[in-house]
Every structure is written in structure tokens, then in C-alpha cells.
A and B are shown apart, each in its own frame.
Chain A
Amino acid sequence: MTAAIATSGLVKTFGSTRALDRLDLTVDTGEVHGFLGPNGAGKSTTIRVLLGLLRADSGRVEVLGGDPWHDAVAMHRRMAYVPGDVELWPNLTGGEAIDLLGRLRGGLNKARRAELIERLDLDPTKKGRTYSKGNRQKVAIVAALASDAELLLLDEPTAGLDPLMEVVFQDVINQVKAQGRTVLLSSHILAQVEELADKVSIIRHGEIVQSGTLAEMRHLTRTTIEADTSRPVTGLELMPGVHDLEAADGRVRFAVDGDHLNDAVQALSHFDIRSMTSHPPTLEELMLRHYGEELAAAGNGNGEER
């Protein structure tokens, strides 16, 4: 499989801020790639470098086999972009903005445009200044997805959409995926990425700290086990890879590293398991492993990216 996006050692600084710090990101053709990270981690900056709107200070960028800074126009014919914070022209209607952006890219599929407007429940006759944030977002989504672009760069595309529209959006992205197109989806909404993404990259302080399929990443992390046993559990906390064990009144709860899951469950079975639940690490937990200290400091991690 060829790579739709390949960067290595990407560095971008703004004054004294190092927004991207040797970023290595690879997105294979035909995959939906989740791009996760908190505010200011460098997600939007990465996407703008991939679009050739910003020039990297150093490092290599290849998008669809070309250099986005030098061949911006040729690349852009094959790419579509949804910005994280959509601004529209106050005196152009949403429909006009969709057509203008689509035509400037080299044409858009009218049937798909109509279908998307219908499904996203967008009124294309309203002027740009009258749209709410969610509706501006819909305009950008329709403009991008009604194209035949092979690569979609979506920067938090559903920020401001209601849950119903979120479901529609997921469905649309699944269609795009079925057509074999490539999607880079940056998001805070972990459930959405979990639902859609084949692979995930986690960015922190301008570098990718982890990248892989969800299965691979889960393997690297801990599974949480809760069980009721007939006999009190003893000695399990001494086993390698077992963490945070709490036991009381015949109930036990612990986390276990992927490598030691089998040993731990075998050991547990000696205490006569009456019921057991296990859940794989959620992306929240994957993120927390990398961002624990920042999330604790910030109090919440769901603010908007600026």
C-alpha cells in the first residue's frame, strides 16, 4: 500500500513556539486515519502544512506523491479540506459558497451535493452571516464531500454539529471509505475516531507519540478486569503487569498489561470466578496515558481548538 501522506522530521516554529517538533506521520492510501491530540498540540498546524498553506521549517512532507508547498495547486485538485473554524462570506449564501469552493477545486458532484444538503438538513439559501457555527461547518462539509477528491483533510469537522448530524456524518465518512478514498480526521471526539478510524496517531507537543491500529495500541495498554469470585483473591497484586488492584467483599478490580492478560486471567480462575467483565482500553485511556498530567492540570480536555 502506498502512503497518501508521509512526513518525517517536520518542524514548524512560530516565533519562539515550536508548533511541530520532528513530526513523523504516515497515512496509507484508502484508510481513515484518526489524528488525536489536545488543544495546541499541533493538529491544525500539521494539516495546514499538508495543504501547503504553511511552509515547514525543516523536514520532509509528501502528500499524494508531491510536495504540497511547491505543487499546491496540482495537489489541491485531488484534496478537499474542512477547516476547524469555518468562516463564510457574509453576503454569499451557503449554496453559493459550496459551489464557489467546489468549482475552484475543479467541479463538484451535483447529485452528491444535493444529497448531502438534504441529509445534513442545511438551508443553502441563507446568507453566510446568518448561519450558526454548526451550519457553517455543514457548508464546509458539503463543499468538501461533494467533490471527488481522493484525500480528505478534516480538521475537527463535527465541532458544533448536534448528535443526530454526527451520526449522519459518520455514515457519510463510511461511504467515502467504501469508495477507497483516504481521510485524515482530526478530532477531540474519541468515540467518533474509534468508530471510523482504521489507524490512529496521537500528537503531543508537536510530535507523534503513538501511531498504529486500535488493536495494536490496545495491546500496548491495559485491560481492566472486574470479577466476582467465590474465594477472596490473594497474591494477584504480586504478579507482573497487574496494576491498581482493589479487592473487597468477593469483588476484585484491576488493570493488566496486554502482555500479561493471559497469566492474570488464569491466576484469577483459581479463585472460582462467578462473573467477570473485562473492557479493553478506551481511547480516553490511551489519551490519558499520554496526557494525564495536562488533563489534570487543565481540568478538562474538550475545549475548542484555536
Chain B
Amino acid sequence: MTATAVREPTRTPTRRSPGNVLAGTGTLIRFILRRDRIKLPAWLLGISLLLFQLATAVSGLTETEEGREDLARFMEGEVSAIMGPGYGRDSISAEVYVAGVYGLFFFVLAALMSMQLVSRHTRVDEQNGRAELVRSTVVGRYAQLTAVLIVAVAANVLLGLMVGGTMTANGFDGGDGLLFGASVGAVGLVFAGITALTVQVTEYARTATGIAGAALGGAWAVRAVGDMIDDYGSPLSWFSPLAWSNQTRSYVDGRWWPLLLSIGLAAAATAAGYALSNRRDVGAGLVASRAGAPVAASWLRSPLAAAFRLQRASLIGWTAALAVFAFMFGAVADQLTDPDGMSENRIDMFGGSVDTLVDGYLGVITLFTAALAGIMAIQGVQAVRQEETKGRAEPVLATATSRWTWLGSYLTVIAIGLVGLLLVAGFASGIGAAASVGDSSYVWEMTSAHLAQVPGVLVLLGTAALLFGVLPRAIGLAWAVVGGSLFVGMFGTLMDIPGWLRNIMPTEYTGQPPLDSIAWQAMVILLVIAAGLAAAGLAAFRRRDLETK
């Protein structure tokens, strides 16, 4: 071996200061605030205003003993576990009700705000190639993620303070207001952390927020089931980050420590996000997007098949989700077999007779599921509208596909999807009800009850189709009808809904089987109306210009 006199090149010790990977964070924070100068304040103010409205309304309702009883029934029993564990139901007050029942809405809103904020400034930017442009400047590897997380933390702290302030402004206790605000902000932090993790995994922002959204749905389901098992929550509840915010028991006997769990999970998810972000390239995901089929399946050869292919994922998702909900609702039906201690109002809500309470409850649940199916129908038509405005309908309509066939195929797929959805959901709720009450006839009764709602939902679909043909820009008006049906179904007994408003809701005419018998005549009339609306929409679409980019 020859000894060489070549000296090792003297390297300047490259001790990387941690500042390098964070270079530019401050500028990026200002940049995020500049880009979101409308969106973020709109979220914060919107949430606070909604809370103020609700708190004022609830305060009005709790002025009388009767009103308090009305509210209390929403916090009783297993059904109320959908909203929360029910702390303070024994001595109900406006603030207890707002925090305990409506709290869920604010948890979900804080989560949605944080998920969108984080994904908008990480994966959406990467997907559109903007992140690359930013990273090519003097910006550290972790700067973008750090900047948006700092903004997210600040936004959630501010949200917590605003929620606390709003509650205090309504005349509720200040300390508990702060605790409730912190509970809301904590959910936001958790989902900011979870989104910081999911955006590392997939290449597409929609998939990333989809996974985070699924985590939110899962957290809700775990908490709801956990809270149904036992009063004030069971050990299962504690596996859900939403439960931690409920378990602060604000306005009952407030405690702060459950929020430590929230902060711990947020920190752990964020740390995992940082670790993963280090292991991938800019723009890439950890999970590479898979290659697909080089040729189309042989069945994909008609407008109907194309419509089915493009709506398939949404149909399957909706059907699976509603089947789970329907099963859960059905499975708690036995709680209504015993009318002891049930308030008069609650009996009224479920049909007015102690003998048919279970059927009454199941009827309300069926109507609720039908209204949710209406949301799917309108979303389906909005997806068709997107095909048009995004320019994907144009090349299809330039083939030998007529306007009638194109729109008609979508409407057919959505209509059949609705029947399938209500069939599956009805069967699932029937199984749940039959198992809990111990009467197998509910399987058939609930299935047919759900199918009896099909014509009403088809009228919603027809309304959306008519708007698509005549006033495509105003397709959102269909939401008013579905929102109205949902509202009337949920709160019809609680509030005085004017008769005319009830009368224009298609779901009003099919009755509430299994409590009521199936209204065959109304079903036929509704089917005719639905067909007429759809035909008018198709005819109008045939006559108007295609909207192009």
C-alpha cells in the first residue's frame, strides 16, 4: 500500500444551524396572512356570529320551565348521544345546552377551518406547483409547514378567545366560556396536526383532506357510540378527540386537563408530519399515485355507463355512510319501548301515543335519512353541473351523445342510486331495530318505510334537474328545499313551522312510515311530479347553450 501524502481537504465544519431549515418562515407567515386576509377572518367571525345567534335563541327558549323541558328532551337518552355525552342534563340552562348539544357543530367547524387552512398552504400549493416556486428561493425545508402551523395555532387560539368572548357577551360565565372556547380551539389544533400528517402521505389535496375528514367522521362515530353505551361517556368515548373537548364539562363542573390529551395528539401528529415531510420530494407523496388501466373496461361504452362510472364512488360512499347511521339509529330503538319518565313533549314528537313510540321514533329517523339522501341527489346534480362548467361535458356532447341522453343518463344513475341507498339504509336500520327491540318484522317494515320516501326524494332530484336546465347558475336553490325538509323533519315539533312551508316540502306528503301507513296515492302523485320536473329540466337543457369555459 502506498502512503499518499494527499491531505484530506479541510472541510469547513458545516454545522447546520436549525435556522436554515426554517429560513423564510416569518415572510411565509405574512404571505399566508395576506392570502387568507378574507377567508380566515370570515371563518372566525362566521363561527362567532353563528354561536351568538344560537346562544341568543336558546336563551330565549330557556326563559320558561316549559321551554327548558323542551330542550332537556334533546339531552336525554341514547339519541342525544349523537350530539354529546349530556353533562348538565339534570339542571338544564341555556349555556349548558349550547355547550353540550351545539358544541359539536363548533368542534366540527373548527376542525374544518383548520383542515382547509393547512391543506391550502401545503398540499394544494405543492399540487399546483406554487410550493416549488417558493422553495426555490431562500426558504428552508420546514418553513412552509411551520408557517402554516403557526398560523393555524394562532387562528385556533383566537377562535377560542372569540368563542369564549361570545359566550360571555351573552351573559354566561366568563371562566367557563374560556374553557368552552379552548375546547373548540383544541379540536381545531388536533385536526390541524392530523392534516399536517395526511398532506405528506398523498399527492392530492382532495385525498389528504378526505383522509382528515374521515378521521373527523370516525372521531364523531366513536364518541357517539361511546356516549350511547354509558351516560356521560364510556371508556370507548375517550378514544375520540371530540370526546376530550366534551369532557371539559364547561358550565357544569369545568376541568381543563382533558385538553392536555388534545394538545398531545396535535403535537404527535405534527411531529409525524415533520418526520414524513423529510422523507419525500417536493410535490411527491409517500404513496405514489398508481397507474391505471390503459384501456377502458369493455362495459364503459354508453352515456349511462359513463355516468355510472363518474358517480360510482360518491354513490358507494353515501350508501355506506347512511347504512351505518341508519343501523346505529335503528339499534337504539329499544330505548323507546319504555315510556316511564318520558316527557309529554317527547311523546308528541314520536307520534303522540305511548303504544307506538318505537314506530314514531323510527318514522322520524326514516324521514331524516331520506332528507340526507336528498343531499346526495342534489350533490349529484351539482357534479353534473361541474362536468359542464369545467369543460368536460363539451367533448362528450361533441360525440354522438344527445343532450337528452347525457343528462338523462346522470338523472337515471342518481335516481337508481337513491333507490339503492334507501333500500340498503332501510334494511340496515331494520336489522338494528329488529335486533334491539327483538321483533324481526322491523326488517321488512323499515325497508319498506325507507322505500316509501323514494318519491319525495325524487321530487328533490327533479327540482335540481329543472334548475339545471332552466337556471343552471341557481342550482343551489335546491338546497333550500332539502334544508327545509331536514329542518321540518328535525325541529318540526319543537318550533312552529308555518303550514305553507311544510306543504311545499315533498317529504311532508309521504307521511312517516312505519308509524303511518304507506301513502300509495301520494307516492304516485309525487312520482308524476318528479318525472314532470325532470322532463322539463331535460327539455330546457336541450334548448339552452352549453356553458363553456
Interface, chain A (partner B; CB < 8 A) = 44, 48, 51, 53-55, 72-74, 76-77, 79-81, 83, 85-89, 91-93, 95-101, 103-106, 124-127, 129-130, 140, 143, 153, 306
Flag if A53 contacts B289 (CB, 8 Å): no
Q: How far is the CA of A106 from the CA of B309 in the complex (A)?
A: 19
Question: Would you give the 0/1 interface string for B230-274, flagging 1 where the beta carbon is closer than 8 Å to chain A?
Answer: 000000000000000000000000000000000000000000000
Residues A95 and B396 in contact in the complex (CB < 8 Å), given A87-B390, A100-B300, A129-B204: no
Shortest CB–CB separation between residue A86 and chain B, in angstroms?
A: 7
Shortest CB–CB separation between residue A288 and chain B, in angstroms?
A: 29
Shortest CB–CB separation between residue B438 and chain A, in angstroms?
A: 44
Shortest CB–CB separation between residue B180 and chain A, in angstroms?
A: 40
Contacts of A72 in B (CB 8 A): 397, 402-403
**Nearest residue in A to B387 (C-beta to C-beta)?**
A89
Does B10 make an interface contact (CB < 8 A)? no
Residues A126 and B291 in contact in the complex (CB < 8 Å), given A53-B545, A54-B545, A100-B296: yes
Q: How far is the CA of A95 from the CA of B300 in the complex (A)?
A: 12
Interface centre among A83, A99, A100, A124 (most CB of B within 10 A): A100
Residues A48 and B306 in contact in the complex (CB < 8 Å), given A76-B399, A93-B293: no
Contacts of B171 in A (CB 8 A): none
Q: How far is the CA of A17 from the CA of B424 in the complex (A)?
A: 51
Flag if A95 contacts B399 (CB, 8 Å): no
Q: How far is the CA of A76 from the CA of B395 in the complex (A)?
A: 11
**Nearest residue in A to B291 (C-beta to C-beta)?**
A125
**Nearest residue in A to B301 (C-beta to C-beta)?**
A103
Select one of A53, A76, A143 contacting B400, CB under 8 A.
Answer: A76
Flag if B296 contacts A125 (CB, 8 Å): no
Flag if B398 contacts A103 (CB, 8 Å): no
Flag if A104 contacts B303 (CB, 8 Å): yes
> 11 A-B residue contacts at CB 8 Å?
A83-B398, A86-B395, A92-B310, A95-B293, A95-B296, A100-B301, A100-B306, A104-B399, A124-B294, A125-B291, A126-B292
Contacts of B401 in A (CB 8 A): 73, 76, 104
Select one of B295, B392, B399, B549 contacting A124, CB under 8 A.
Answer: B295
Contacts of B392 in A (CB 8 A): 87-89
Contacts of B294 in A (CB 8 A): 93, 95, 124-125
Does B313 make an interface contact (CB < 8 A)? yes
* Contact residues, B359-408 vs A (CB, 8 A): 390-392, 394-403
Does B548 make an interface contact (CB < 8 A)? yes
Flag if A105 contacts B400 (CB, 8 Å): yes
Flag if A103 contacts B292 (CB, 8 Å): no
Residues A87 and B293 in contact in the complex (CB < 8 Å), given A53-B545, A101-B396: no
Q: How far is the CA of A123 from the CA of B204 in the complex (A)?
A: 20
Does B494 make an interface contact (CB < 8 A)? no
Interface centre among B289, B294, B401, B403 (most CB of A within 10 A): B294
Flag if A104 contacts B391 (CB, 8 Å): no
Residues A96 and B293 in contact in the complex (CB < 8 Å), given A48-B548, A53-B546, A79-B398: yes
**Nearest residue in B to A81 (C-beta to C-beta)?**
B398
Select one of B391, B402, B543, B546 contacting A87, CB under 8 A.
Answer: B391
Contacts of B543 in A (CB 8 A): 55
Q: Is the interface of A mostly helix, strand, loop or mixed?
A: mixed
Flag if B400 contacts A106 (CB, 8 Å): yes
Q: How far is the CA of A76 from the CA of B396 in the complex (A)?
A: 10
**Nearest residue in B to A79 (C-beta to C-beta)?**
B398
Select one of A54, A85, A129, A153 contacting B546, CB under 8 A.
Answer: A54
* Contact residues, B506-549 vs A (CB, 8 A): 543, 545-546, 548-549
Select one of A51, A96, A105, A124 contacting B300, CB under 8 A.
Answer: A96
* Contact residues, B310-330 vs A (CB, 8 A): 310, 313
**Nearest residue in B to A54 (C-beta to C-beta)?**
B545
**Nearest residue in A to B549 (C-beta to C-beta)?**
A85
Shortest CB–CB separation between residue B445 and chain A, in angstroms?
A: 38
**Nearest residue in B to A93 (C-beta to C-beta)?**
B292
Shortest CB–CB separation between residue A189 and chain B, in angstroms?
A: 21
Flag if A103 contacts B549 (CB, 8 Å): no
Shortest CB–CB separation between residue B6 and chain A, in angstroms?
A: 47
Flag if A89 contacts B289 (CB, 8 Å): no
Shortest CB–CB separation between residue B447 and chain A, in angstroms?
A: 32
Flag if B295 contacts A83 (CB, 8 Å): no
Flag if A104 contacts B400 (CB, 8 Å): yes
Flag if B395 contacts A77 (CB, 8 Å): no
Flag if A96 contacts B296 (CB, 8 Å): yes
Q: How far is the CA of A73 from the CA of B398 in the complex (A)?
A: 8
Contacts of B313 in A (CB 8 A): 91
Residues A51 and B402 in contact in the complex (CB < 8 Å), given A87-B390, A95-B295, A125-B291: no
**Nearest residue in B to A147 (C-beta to C-beta)?**
B399
Contacts of B398 in A (CB 8 A): 51, 53, 76, 79-81, 83, 153
Q: How far is the CA of A72 from the CA of B396 in the complex (A)?
A: 12
Shortest CB–CB separation between residue A47 and chain B, in angstroms?
A: 9
Shortest CB–CB separation between residue B64 and chain A, in angstroms?
A: 54
Shortest CB–CB separation between residue A122 and chain B, in angstroms?
A: 10
Flag if A81 contacts B295 (CB, 8 Å): no
Residues A83 and B309 in contact in the complex (CB < 8 Å), given A103-B300, A127-B292: no
Contacts of A140 in B (CB 8 A): 395
Shortest CB–CB separation between residue B311 and chain A, in angstroms?
A: 11
Shortest CB–CB separation between residue B390 and chain A, in angstroms?
A: 5
Select one of A91, A92, A105, A130 contacting B399, CB under 8 A.
Answer: A105
Flag if B289 contacts A103 (CB, 8 Å): no
